[in-house]
Structure 1
Amino acid sequence: MLRLKILEADEKKGVYKILVEDEEDLWALRNILREGDLVEAVTTREVKPGEGGESRRFPMVLRVRVKDVEFQPFTDRLRIRGVVVEGPDKFGVVGKHHTLSIKPGDTVVFVEKELDDFSRRFIETYSRKRRILVVALDYDEVCISLVSEQGVKAVREYYTNLPGKDAVEEYEESVRRMVEQVVEEVVEYSRSLRVDGVIVGSPGFLKDEVVARLKSRGLDKPLFADSVSYGGCKGVDEILRRGGEKNVVRELNITAAVKYFEEFKETVTRDPEQVAYGLENVAKAVEPNAVRVLLVSSRLLWSGGEGVDPNAVVLEAFKKRAEVYIVPPDSNIAPELEGFGGIVALLRFRLPLG
């Protein structure tokens, strides 16, 4: 799932310091921001320093009481509009309106934030990090690392010691054995470390051979191939610097959401009482704990809906341990999902909803 990188948290004081790493984090923030929240961030503001002086834009840290939040899909900006409640005295900005423009790489601080139940469950769910096995190899080195909540740990690292290429048959046989050894190790570590997915990176085609062999071995984990300049732990670092593990986590969620949406479409024609769609019907299904899987469009959450509160429906689904997937606008299934009212559910038992 998505993850929020919480640098500091003091629940008693309501202080949460969050590093925004990418657009998905901006989207997650949008889901926990509420009108009236106090938010602090580094920003710039145009100020006229003195009478007759020219206006200039100065960097400063401002604390704003939120009035409105806007996030446009496919952009890398979250606009938080509000009134300044704290800032540098010399600029006289307190009491004036200001917009914080938050982008990836920025740090946002919630101050005196009382987390409602929805925000608390949202943070608890999306701050969890998947366990990803990252493998980088070339003809000289192999490195297998585990990426988890505790960081990055190399669990296996070694030189291949392949013979020279002059003895062609011996060299090719040694490469084959090396690939087979890597496959065996990946299968074993995937099971023993209970990973959620595997990335295999290499220069050239070695990664494709390893992935193909892993598939033929029936490894029941999502597999992803990536190109790197080097094998060994240097290659693992390269994958992580590019955010490879976050792409895998996102892909894992999208893959799961697509799988469940296909199941929904097949079930809605075959056994319509085993599914629900549209906000009102899904809300009715959530109430008796009938929802097993819920897919909701982020657009529906942003809009707030009419009548039934979508956030309340999602929160109730969380409480009742349904699997919940929030589908971003750039997902392939987003347009079809919107056609079903932006929210669909697979049910635990048949429920006639009319």
Structure 2
Amino acid sequence: MENEEIQKMRLKRLIEELKRKEGRGTELISLYIPPRKRMSEVINYLRQEYATAENIKSDQTRKHVKDALTKVMERLKYYQSSPENGLVVFCGAIPQNGPGTEKMEIYVIEPPEPININLYRCDDHFHTEYLEDTLKEKDVYGLISIDINEAAIGLLEGSRLKILSTHTSGIPGKHRAGGQSARRFERLREMAIHQYFDRIARHVNEEFLSDEVFKRLRGIIIGGPGFTKHEFVEESDLDYRIREKIIGFIDTNYSGEEGLREIITKGEELLKHAKYQQEKKLVDEFLNNLAKKHDMVLYGFNDIKRYLYDGIIDKILINDDINYYYIKIKCKICEHEEEIIVKESEKIKLEYRLPPCKKCGGETEIIEEKHIIDYLDEASKLSGFKLYIITADTEHGRILSQFGGIVAILRYSLRY
């Protein structure tokens, strides 16, 4: 089965490309078909829309909409019913270089998660928002870091820590002030603690019980120094549904935002299924090898590519924001082939002006072009290494960026 993360990355890149496309007027069609819907029903509906399109005043818009509908219907005839996750179709006349240069483009996508929406829309852009929802992490963990002075509430979505809110308590320290009696002071302090706990509980209830979060909430972990975290759960107005989701408590040295990060670090067992921990383990493995057995790792595109098909590579870790392309060019005269890896910005320049053949100096042409992750994915099937996508905007992703955004862990030493 195809690597799920790679499949999602491809879809993410396609969505970004679709969002950049604009039509002239309401000419671009977005069609969402729910799972296992009879395609004959969908086509009949589109025929009605085709007839309605006759009422469009602009000759150009009317022609483009009708042409797009025809193209969509022709493509849907290959299906008896929509796939188990549904089907998404984008189609329309996209200007290539100003008015009069429109080119009809169609994209048929089987989403990674079921799309339970039936939608047909004509607009000046493609409606990708429902498709983007399928890329959201299915499982999230709620994190609460609390002590008597401050608290923070966060979500661990895949490998991203999202800080939802931070709070201070305003509770006075354990000493008498202004001549108050010790008993009265302590009673006022206890009231302030109870109000603080209830205030944090309200925020937790609001954040974690929202429809967007609760349906994906796999568990809640509460951390902080001392016993305050347990007292918070026992004494506050936490909703019973929140209490049922608590999977553990973590003793931390810090509270607040720093405490949330400490929960992730120390809660490895509780978070063992979280993407964050899985990615962190991989980067830690690379760093440990780099420190102790530096001949068991490689980093940077050029060094890794040199050993790509030698069977020496066990794992490749690559950041998800890498925007490099693999390009193969061929000489039109002597047919000599050359492989190049370039950034996206360099790729655009390269398409306008290809380098001459290194062998005979003749004119060259591009015969193969693919994103670097697609190239590595294909190579992994031939060489047997595992390809892992690391989230770039995380602590471990930023560490990987210092090594060019791509590293390899080897099966055996380069000195073997």
| TM-score scaled by length of structure 1 | 0.39
Structure with the higher strand share, 1 or 2: 1
